[in-house]
Amino acid sequence: MPVSDQKLYLLDYGAGNVRSLLNAVEKLGHRIEYIKTVEDFAKADKIIFPGVGAFGYAMRALNNSGFAEPLKAYIASGRPLMGICVGMQVLFEGSDESPAEPGLGIFEGRVELFDKKLKSVPHMGWNAAQVVHQENVLATAVPEIGEDSRYYFVHSYAVPYTGTGAQRGIVHSATRYVDQAVVSSVWSRNVFATQFHPEKSGPAGLALLRSFIEHDLVRPQSSAGELRMPGDIESALTVRVIACLDVRANDQGDLVVTKGDQYNVRESADKGGDVRNLGKPVDLAKRYYDEGADEIAFLNITSFRNLPFRDTPMLEVLRQASRSIFVPLTIGGGVRDSVDPDGEHVWPAVQVAGEYFRSGADKVSIGSDAVYAAEGYWQRKAEGLVPLDGSTAIEQIAERYGRQAVVISVDPRRVYVSSPEDASGHHVIRTAFPGPNGEQYCWYQCTVKGGREGRDTDVRQLVTACEALGAGEILLNCMDKDGTNSGYDIELISDTKAAVSIPVIASSGAGRPEHFSEAVEKTAVEAVLAAGIFHRREVPIVAVKKHMQEQGISIRSAEDGV
């Protein structure tokens, strides 16, 4: 059947960002419809099943909508299915994530939690998918999956790769995350499924999607053979380079990318005092995608004044950006419970986040509200109450959309003290950069409302509480370093990284390529972020990556990014 005549469907159960997939398919010049009723399964020539969120949520949604059995029947009919992430996991028998909820059982095996002993969980970032077939026809059957390409993974649970038993008939590629090899794609007859997200994996991922849509990825029958052993699967996770765009309306009311010096985004009075304008949000973000950014973050920096979902220009920025950018997008600003100006209607944070996801975001970042949530957490602990009561935005968004979708944006500043006793019980570090009066110690004070208000909470209290509440990642800014080009605050980053087992993004102060490698080498952060030097074209992303590669740091190559 000509590709133009085939009916391509998307199986969605409303748990997150399927807009990226829709956008990717459209970018490839194809149309895709949603499966809305059980009858649609009969009309479909091909189905893409992008799973996001938790395993149990996905299975309950499939069962409650009555789609589980028609999906099994569709697979049995031999028509092609592509599963993505949780859309791959539910094809197995079950998952540690939701032990009470059986999977579809198409494949033998279970999904297990990553062992956290040696590494940050979730496994988040760009990694290789290594084809496991030895010398047979399958080894090169899907050339879009190549050893040199990197794909975007984000998951806490995975099917352990053994290379034996039933896996010999179904596993196509495996991926190593530190000490564990896991299944990263399966291929059995008409079913091709990936643990990674092709729709978020730049040109390499788009090529794989194109292959599924325009050709038939049907596995040759007599092709089972010996597989590589788990020990042969090498670790290839890269350090992510993230471009961050602080967005706000300028004095003329246009949304612009701005950039602060220690959070002050206005020019000095002698230059007119205007909000600095470094470009248009969508144009700049597209430029970073083309230049090989592994991720892009938008921070809506004045959203504490407004309701984000009433901020239609910001949502439009996200919609437009997600149409041409196929790497993960994070958006922050205003993710909290909000009250309408009429004073009557309360909008829960999870609804604000939902609006961001529907507009194209993959993750939301929470700033001020995370500080209040952490304060509540420690308060409940001090009172002997259950610290996790489901009341916070972090818990609710993580429950609905998965913890990988919740980033905590930290806006700390240094408070110098002469001795640890002067820090009112806060976690103190001994610093190699003494304070203005020669103080040898400091603690890091959390702020809210874009640094306008300091709180009696330190960064360690914040990040440990947020991890316990269900956050998936820490975006670690530093007000003292922001916009200074003097390098990251390595002391802050090391101290924070040691306190959590979720990924940490180093932010604030990058001025030269050496600053990025220094942060990775000294603190083992999973990602490095910059704003000003990218906006002002002082240091291109490709120069950062080239330098890191020369230092022996694993990065996604520029060829994969453009």
Binding residues for ligand 1PR, rule: CB under 6 A, are: 244, 246, 259-260, 263, 265, 299, 301, 303-304, 332-335, 365-369, 409, 411, 450-451, 477, 482-483, 507-510, 530-532
Catalytic residue, chosen from 144, 246, 458, 467, is 246
Closest distance between ligand 1PR and the C-beta of residue 530, in Å?
4
Query: Closer to ligand 1PR at the Cβ: 104 or 265?
Result: 265
* 295 flagged as catalytic: no
Q: 313-319 long-range contacts, Cβ below 8 Å, gap at least 24?
A: 313/249, 313/255, 314/247, 314/255, 315/355, 315/356, 315/359, 316/359, 317/247, 317/255, 317/281, 317/282, 318/356, 318/359, 318/360, 318/361, 319/19, 319/359, 319/360
* 30 flagged as catalytic: no
Closest distance between ligand 1PR and the C-beta of residue 106, in Å?
41
Between CA 356 and CA 362 the distance in angstroms is 8
Which residues have a Cβ under 8 Å from the Cβ of 111 and sit 6 or more positions away?
55, 89, 92, 94, 95, 96, 97, 103, 157, 158, 159
Contact 555, 549 (CB under 8 A): yes
| Residue 105 CA from chain centroid, whole number | 28
Between CA 511 and CA 531 the distance in angstroms is 10
Closest distance between ligand 1PR and the C-beta of residue 478, in Å?
7
Catalytic residue, chosen from 40, 311, 362, 411, is 411
* 85 annotated as ligand-binding: yes
In this structure, how many other beta carbons lie within 10 angstroms of the beta carbon of residue 255? 18
Contact 75, 106 (CB under 8 A): yes
Beta strands in 250-397 (DSSP E): 255-258, 295-300, 329-332, 338-339, 346-347, 363-366
Contact 98, 55 (CB under 8 A): yes
Closest distance between ligand 1PR and the C-beta of residue 311, in Å?
11
Closest distance between ligand 1PR and the C-beta of residue 75, in Å?
42
CA dist 141 → 76, 145, 146, 216, 219 (Å):
23, 9, 10, 11, 9
Query: Closer to ligand 1PR at the Cβ: 175 or 258?
Result: 258
Query: Closer to ligand 1PR at the Cβ: 23 or 396?
Result: 396
**Residue 520 DSSP label:** H
Query: Closer to ligand 1PR at the Cβ: 121 or 394?
Result: 394
Query: Closer to ligand 1PR at the Cβ: 173 or 409?
Result: 409
**Degrees to nearest 5, angle at CA 361 with 127 and 400:** 90
**Residue 483 DSSP label:** T
Catalytic residue, chosen from 12, 40, 85, 480, is 85
* 205 annotated as ligand-binding: no
| Coil/strand/helix, residue 346 | strand
* 411 flagged as catalytic: yes
Query: Closer to ligand 1PR at the Cβ: 205 or 451?
Result: 451
In this structure, how many other beta carbons lie within 10 angstroms of the beta carbon of residue 235? 14
Can you read off the two tokens belonging to residue 217? 């990825």
* 264 annotated as ligand-binding: no
Partners of 413 in the β-ladder: 445
Backbone angles phi, psi at 502, to 5 degrees: -100, 160
Closest distance between ligand 1PR and the C-beta of residue 403, in Å?
17
Sort 272 into a burial class: Cβ within 10 Å, 0-12 / 13-18 / 19+: exposed
Closest distance between ligand 1PR and the C-beta of residue 532, in Å?
3
Query: Closer to ligand 1PR at the Cβ: 63 or 264?
Result: 264
Closest distance between ligand 1PR and the C-beta of residue 509, in Å?
5
Longest dimension (CA), the chain: 77
Query: Closer to ligand 1PR at the Cβ: 127 or 507?
Result: 507
- Find the length of the chain: 562
Catalytic residue, chosen from 12, 199, 489, 560, is 199
DSSP assignment of 408-474 equals: EEE-EEEEEESSGGGGTT---EE-SS--TT---EEEEEEEETTTTEEEEEEHHHHHHHHHHHT--EE
Catalytic residue, chosen from 155, 172, 197, 535, is 197
Give the residue ranges of the annotated binding site for L-glutamine.
85
Indicate which residues carry an active-site annotation. 85, 197, 199, 246, 411
Binding residues: 85, 334, 477
Binding residues for substrate: 334, 477
